[in-house]
């Protein structure tokens, strides 16, 4: 049976995560509260009942006493694994549990390069990050924090008994000693391309656009450094400077993922599908008058509206593959949302999931998100592969959950860093269209990530 155990509400869920972080495969889906304006729920868990990873065209499913290796479509294997555990955990009937966004189920990430399992793409970029293209777990319990109602509960599924639940509860209510911040960067971040290389790549994209190959390409540069210490401390530092509603911290055996994304990818709630692509960015002003001016300029920009509309059309087409005929709508077009360092142009697309389709099929048919590829999607991905020096890995993929109740919510992993083997990487990009100004696009990449790079560069110890 499903159980809930009340916990003291904390304005920040960080102490709860630090009490379970020592367990295997910890995940923290972080709404950025109290600083973020948009988030509501935090979801924290660890020690999954099973894990699924996809790497080098092989899907591996690990159970406590066994391991499977499977060929073929990883989304098919993910669906089968979810179905197997959902059979033991049918959707809860208690009203208080049904109201929770997550009732046990899948937590994890889907890397941008998982798209290679769905489409035949060239392999030209250098792959220097050894993370699986998909890493998820079946989580049998979770801490759910509702910042709007200021409540917190431990939810447990039928996969664990009351004794196990009480053990987890005890860990969550024990005080922990806060460790000193031991994260340091060895040197300033460096891009994987020179300014001249960036300009040349945008000229090449411009040629493709004018020759009719594509309408838009999302092009990114990567910033890298080396570090010592604990990536969790880096995440906490960044959280103070970049509170966003789709933040996440994930630890794996291969490395840590630090995501501070403002962008929703796909949500399904009571069969209603929602996606909210971001296209169009302006920096925040250093005074109210300038800030309002920049916000209005973004809202009225014909170039940014055209860029946004291209992706709206792409995402409408993607979700229509699994939505009921005639149900896809665009209730919000070109809304401006403001964050710590930027204004974004955001549109909202909705639809009704067909009864014969699942949220995993929705994810499969929409992956990767159109806002971080371009249009048409496959040709844009081919151009990205040609021009970006390094594979994206988790950047521009997705992080999120699929509950046993059938609800799914995922992010687009922009503003995301990866820590692995002493290296730390962070990306920034933007949608390139026919009338893009190269110098403005170049500056926009820095506007997007300066509030991530600068706080970490403050940790550099001068020799």
Catalytic residues: 263, 279
Q: Nearest to residue 419, comparing CAs of 242, 224, 247?
A: 224
Measured in whole angstroms, the distance separating CA 242 from the mean position of its chain's CA atoms is: 15
Dihedral angle, C-alpha 89, 93, 95, 100, nearest 10 °: 20
Angle CA(326)–CA(330)–CA(331) in degrees, nearest 5?
Answer: 115
CA-to-CA dists, residue 51 to 23, 72, 97, angstroms? 14, 17, 24
Q: What is the DSSP letter of 413?
A: -
42: its two tokens: 């935090």
Give alpha helix (H) positions in 411-458: 438-457
Contacts of residue 398, Cβ cutoff 8 Å, sequence gap at least 6: 109, 110, 265, 266, 363, 367, 368, 369, 410, 411, 412, 413
Give me the torsion for CA of 225, 228, 233, 237, rounded to 10°: -40
> Is the distance from CB of 434 to CB of 209 less than 8 angstroms?
yes
Do 157 and 59 form a contact (C-beta atoms < 8 A)?
Answer: no
180, 232 Cβ separation under 8 angstroms: no
How far apart are alpha carbons 162 and 417 in whole angstroms? 37
Q: How far apart are CA 265 and CA 323, in angstroms?
A: 16
């Amino acid at each position: 049976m499903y159980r809930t155990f009340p916990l003291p509400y904390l304005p920040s869920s960080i102490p709860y995560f630090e009490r379970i972080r020592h367990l295997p495969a910890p995940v923290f889906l972080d709404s950025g509260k109290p600083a973020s304006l948009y988030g509501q729920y935090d979801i924290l868990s660890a020690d999954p009942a099973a894990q699924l990873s996809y790497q080098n065209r092989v899907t591996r499913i690990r159970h406590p006493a066994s391991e499977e290796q499977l060929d073929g479509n990883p989304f098919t294997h993910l669906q089968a694994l979810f179905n197997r555990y959902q059979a033991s955990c049918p959707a809860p009937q208690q009203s208080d549990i049904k109201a929770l966004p997550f009732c046990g189920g899948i937590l994890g990430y889907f890397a941008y390069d998982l798209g290679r399992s769905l489409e035949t793409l060239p392999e030209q970029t250098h792959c220097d990050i050894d993370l699986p293209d998909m890493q998820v777990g079946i989580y049998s319990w979770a801490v759910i924090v509702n910042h709007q109602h200021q409540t917190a509960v431990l939810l447990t599924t039928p996969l664990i008994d009351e004794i196990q639940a009480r053990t987890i509860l005890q860990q969550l209510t024990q005080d922990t000693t806060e460790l000193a911040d031991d994260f340091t960067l060895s040197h300033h971040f460096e891009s994987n391309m020179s300014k001249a290389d960036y300009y040349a790549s945008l000229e090449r994209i411009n040629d493709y656009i004018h020759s009719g190959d594509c309408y838009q390409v999302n092009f990114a540069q990567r910033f890298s450094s080396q570090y010592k210490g604990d990536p969790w401390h880096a995440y906490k530092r960044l959280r103070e400077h970049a509170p966003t509603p789709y933040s996440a911290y994930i630890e794996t055996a291969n490395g840590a993922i630090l995501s501070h994304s403002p962008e929703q990818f796909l949500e399904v709630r009571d069969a209603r599908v929602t996606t909210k692509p971001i296209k169009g960015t302006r920096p925040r002003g250093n005074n109210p008058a300038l800030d309002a001016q920049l916000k209005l300029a973004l809202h009225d920009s014909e170039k940014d509206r055209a860029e946004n509309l291209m992706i709206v059309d792409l995402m409408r087409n993607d979700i229509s593959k699994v939505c009921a005929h005639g149900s896809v709508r665009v209730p919000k077009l070109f809304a401006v949302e403001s964050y710590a360092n930027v204004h974004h142009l955001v549109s909202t697309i909705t639809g009704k999931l067909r009864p014969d389709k699942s949220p995993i099929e929705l994810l499969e048919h929409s992956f990767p998100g159109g806002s971080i590829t371009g249009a048409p999607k496959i040709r844009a991905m081919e151009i990205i592969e040609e021009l970006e020096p390094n594979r994206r890995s988790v950047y521009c993929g997705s992080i999120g959950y699929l509950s046993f109740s059938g609800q799914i919510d995922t992010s687009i992993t922009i503003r995301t860093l990866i820590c692995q083997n002493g290296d730390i990487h962070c990306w920034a990009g933007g949608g390139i269209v026919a009338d893009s100004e190269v110098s403005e696009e170049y500056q926009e990449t820095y506007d997007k990530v300066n509030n991530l790079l600068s706080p970490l560069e403050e940790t550099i110890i001068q020799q």
